[in-house]
Amino acid sequence: MFRSLVRQLNQEMSGELDQLVWYLERHIEVDGDDHGPLSREMVADLCGDTPALWEEASQAAEEALRARLRLWDGVLKQIEES
């Protein structure tokens, strides 16, 4: 879904986002193939069977997602303003 959204936006902007599209697609590929599975394994190793650690990890993940939303909202705002 994300890839198609970025590609569509790039088409609407006559290819002005080609480099951003390349970066995002590469990032998505690396995240999905390597970083995602490794990070899940790392969190499981760190949290083990401790519910408090899982809760702390969950809260940190939620804050990271909120920060990512703020980042991409800012990127969109800059694109719309240019």
pLDDT in tens, 48-60: 999 999 999 999 9
Tell me the three state secondary structure of residue 14. Answer: coil
Q: Which amino acid is at 22?
A: W
* Residue that is written with structure tokens 């939620």 in the block: 62
Distance CA 73, CA 71 (A): 5
pLDDT score, position 1: 59
Distance CA 64, CA 17 (A): 25
End-to-end CA distance of the chain: 25
Cβ neighbors of 18 (< 8 A, separation 6 or more) are: 10
- Full-model pTM: 0.61
List per-residue pLDDT tens for the chain, 82 residues long. Answer: 567 877 888 898 888 888 988 888 888 777 777 778 888 999 999 999 999 999 999 999 999 999 999 998 998 899 889 8
